[in-house]
Amino acid sequence: MFHYTVETDKPIEEAVSSLEASLKEEKFGVLWHFDIKETLESKGLEFEQPYRVLEVCNPQEAKNVLEENQMVGYFLPCKMVVYEDGGTTKIGLPKPTALIEMVNDDALKQFAQDIEDRLVTCMDRAV
């Protein structure tokens, strides 16, 4: 699977807040919030499903990985999503280990695994 996704009974806003708090514990900050529903509606398009995209970053880890291989910048910052699906709130992300395979650089696999493990821990704590 290219992604990791968890489910929670929390409403979207509460799930986003919980995720942000969990990310801070791992020294990840949210650089950008993108509310897809709100943006599409502002463009005159009807979209009923709440869907948030968060771009998250740990500055030290970003520096380390970019010094190793600048192509990784294509995947930075890390994207996480919080959305509603069939009445259930889901939190997900594309796995850094899956993305790093596209760069074909074995030296980066451990970086990706570490970041993935930490982000998965944040998601699991947020539910």
Which residues are CB-neighbours of 32 under 8 A, at least 6 positions away?
54, 55, 77
Please report the pLDDT score of residue 12 as a whole number: 96
Q: Domain residues of the chain, as ranges?
A: 3-126
Please report the pLDDT score of residue 107 as a whole number: 86
- Alpha carbons within 13 A on the beta-carbon side of 76: 19
List per-residue pLDDT tens for the chain, 127 residues long: 899 999 999 999 999 999 999 999 999 999 999 999 999 999 999 999 999 999 999 999 999 999 999 999 999 999 999 999 999 999 999 999 999 999 988 889 999 999 999 999 999 999 9
Please report the pLDDT score of residue 39 as a whole number: 96
Count of residues in the chain: 127
Please report the pLDDT score of residue 50 as a whole number: 94
The per-residue DSSP string of 64-77 comes to HHHHH-GGGGGGPS
pTM over 0.85: yes
Please report the pLDDT score of residue 93 as a whole number: 98
Please report the pLDDT score of residue 126 as a whole number: 97
Q: For residues 73-101, b (16+ Cβ closer than 10 Å) or e, as one string?
A: eebbbbbbbbbbeeeebbbbbbbbbebbe
Instruction: Select 3-126's CATH number: 3.30.310.70, 3.30.750.24, 3.20.20.140, 3.30.565.10.
Output: 3.30.310.70
